Structure 1
Amino acid sequence: MKYFVCVFVCCAVLFAQEKPQTLAEALGYDSDAKVVILNADDFGMCHAENLGTQKVLEAGIVSSATMMMPCPWVLEAVEYVKKNNMKNIGVHVALTSEWKRYRWAPVSRSPWGGKSSLVDEKGYMWPGTLDVEAYADVEDVKAEVRAQLKKALDLGVDLSHFDSHMGSLYGVASFRVELLAAAYAYSYEFGLPFRMPFIEGMEPLREKGFAVLDDLVIGAGQEPKDPKGRKQYFVDLLKNLSPGVTEIYIHPAVNGEELSRITGSAKTRQLDIEIFCDPELKQVIADENIKVIDFTSLRKWQREQMNWNPSFKAEDVYDEYVAILKEIFHGEKFQRSAKLKNLHNVCKCE
């Protein structure tokens, strides 16, 4: 009997040791802690989006935002960030320009100054993620990612992280790993976390010191469109969070003539403002003992893990990351993952 108990205890210890550590645990939280980053995407996309993002940030529920550097209204967003000395702002790297009547071009080069694989026949960024994966040359992608990050830094923004507008840097539609490798290479160079959820097989990236999220959730997308149903979606989402660090992202914007001329999601973007300024949602977060953080703690952790310094260069690690990601992307467990399916949904989200 004593032998059986000993074996059982030893097996339990081994199992506990083999269980992957969550990012939340790595940051110092308990194993059952529910930690969330609430991010407002598309900051700087237009004036209406700027107003909406400011409202939710000032309400104190949304903890982070990411700016779209190619867009005309990004300077207004930068002005707000600098005026308020904000540290919780990242870059929403855009390789797509999805709206019919309101579009933008690359930061890295003028579309009218020569041929570019990043633009369509009209000189604007491709309208969809599949177009980027099909036509964009990786060297042009690298130049654009770097240019967008550098532009934000040169304008005086103390960046906390960066992510991918419509998921065009994930490369998951065609398993084009060199796009994601570029994202991680610049995450290395700039010492900035890149938004990506942990999927089984991605242990090598965490071992490299990258602050890979435990989960990533679309903030309802286009549905539900009714106020009560949309609010309940977020309440249920928060109540059912898994332990670890989860990012939930939304698209808050003030509905009006400007926004309605740009996008068909104007009403749901307005609803996101109302929901994330509602004290009831803050109470749900408190009742569920959810810890709300931003990417500054992830940036600090990642830089410590890597012993980061400004001399790091993306090209020194890019080929190595391509090789690592080929192994990950071609793994059966990775391709069957529910989180991978969620990333496909991210790529469709406008």
Structure 2
Amino acid sequence: MAADTIRIIARGDDAGSSVTANRAIQEAISCGFLRNVSLMACCGAIEDAADRFAPHAEVCFGLHATLNAEWDDVRWGPVLPPEHVPSLVDREGMFFQTVAALAVHGPQVEEVMAELQAQLNRLRALGFHISYADMHMDFSKAIPGFEAEFDDWCSREGLINAIPYYRNWITTVYAHLTPYAIERNDDPIGAVIHELDQLKPGEYLIVGHPAYDNAEMRNLGHAGYTGDRVSSGRHWERLLFTDPRILAFVQAKGIVPIRYDEAEDGSR
């Protein structure tokens, strides 16, 4: 890596969770800044995601390992039959809404690993080349000692464990695009550009959940985080990767968007 270069792992999460998310990620891929896409194998739009962007060799695809379904009205469950992973599901066979609820139910490591393997296998069967794995909602907090188990599994499957790369996550960029921040700032894109302009040479991580502000996204939400706010926030997270001002700044600043498999070892 050149000593004077800013390199950014730009990652879009929740691909496969909805057609709206897939469309937005497809747009972001076409703009060239988004180089990493995390896929939710257990969700209903994952086949649509495969149709849209599995052939994109320029994109680094990852498993967004999922054991939670956070929304009130849009739910998902395991790839495996629910009766095969009883410690991971509620009485309706769906994933628990929160990590805390999962923890209370006592998830069994053997069931967790079987479900993660099933999710990975499904993505591969759909034609995705999977290079890394991360965790939706960081469910590892519900399973004592799971980080080492996850790391070993990634090694066995030839995957990059994306978790250590969070140490370089530019959280201030994401903070400007939350619904609460947007309500207080009439130029969120300008605020993001200001944050990027402060970066010194090195490698960084940016994570967003691209989508459009529409009826499908407004079906999401839960107590304290309404569907309107979810939809609005994810519209702005799409602009993180597609807004012409950001794209022009990235080019002018000489920022290099990279894939996980082009990055330095995240454990360093």
The TM-score range, normalised by the shorter chain, is 0.7 to 0.9
Deviations 1:304-329 (A, max 9, x none): xxxxxxxxxxxxxxxxxxxxxxxxxx
1:250 aligned partner: 208
1:305 aligned partner: none
TM-score by length of 1: 0.66
1:193 aligned partner: 160
What amino acid does structure 2 have at the position aligned with 1:138?
V
Q: How does 1:308-327 map to 2 (within 5 A)?
A: none
Q: Of residues 68, 79, 95 in structure 1, which corresponds to 2:51?
A: 79
Q: Of residues 75, 90, 93 in structure 2, which corresponds to 1:103?
A: 75
Structure-2 separation of matches of 1:35 and 1:87: 16
Deviations 1:243-292 (A, max 9, x none): 43221100111221111112321011112223422221122223333221
Q: 1:145 to 1:166 in 2, by over 3 A?
A: same
Q: Of residues 150, 159, 169 in structure 2, which corresponds to 1:216?
A: 169
Q: How does 1:113-192 map to 2 (within 5 A)?
A: 113=83, 116-134=86-104, 135-169=106-140, 171=141, 176-192=143-159
Q: 1:131 to 1:60 in 2, by over 3 A?
A: same
Contact 1:38 1:247 survives alignment (8 Å): yes
What amino acid does structure 2 have at the position aligned with 1:150?
N
Q: 1:57 to 1:33 in 2, by over 3 A?
A: same
Structure-1 separation of matches of 2:240 and 2:162: 24
Structure-2 separation of matches of 1:90 and 1:269: 20
What amino acid does structure 2 have at the position aligned with 1:183?
F
Greater Cα offset, 148-157 or 219-228? 219-228
Q: 1:34 to 1:84 in 2, by over 3 A?
A: closer
2:258 aligned partner: 293
Greater Cα offset, 139-148 or 223-232? 223-232
Contact 2:12 2:25 survives alignment (8 Å): yes
Unaligned runs of 5+ in 1: 1-28, 198-211, 303-350
SS of residue matched to 2:90: coil
SS of residue matched to 1:58: helix
Deviations 1:212-258 (A, max 9, x none): 56512342344422474421332133223354322110011122111
Structure-1 separation of matches of 2:198 and 2:120: 34
Coordinate RMSD, CA, aligned: 2.3
**Percent of aligned pairs with the same amino acid:** 24
1:266 aligned partner: 231
What amino acid does structure 2 have at the position aligned with 1:245?
E
> Number of aligned pairs?
252
Unaligned runs of 5+ in 2: 222-226
Deviations 1:127-174 (A, max 9, x none): 1122233421111111122221121112221112111111113x2xx7
SS of residue matched to 1:262: coil
What amino acid does structure 2 have at the position aligned with 1:191?
G
Q: 1:228 to 1:61 in 2, by over 3 A?
A: farther
SS of residue matched to 1:245: strand
Q: Could you say which structure has the higher strand fraction? A: 2
Contact 1:213 1:245 survives alignment (8 Å): no
Contact 2:26 2:53 survives alignment (8 Å): no
Structure-2 separation of matches of 1:133 and 1:234: 35
2:15 aligned with 1:43 = yes
What amino acid does structure 2 have at the position aligned with 1:192?
L
What amino acid does structure 2 have at the position aligned with 1:75?
E
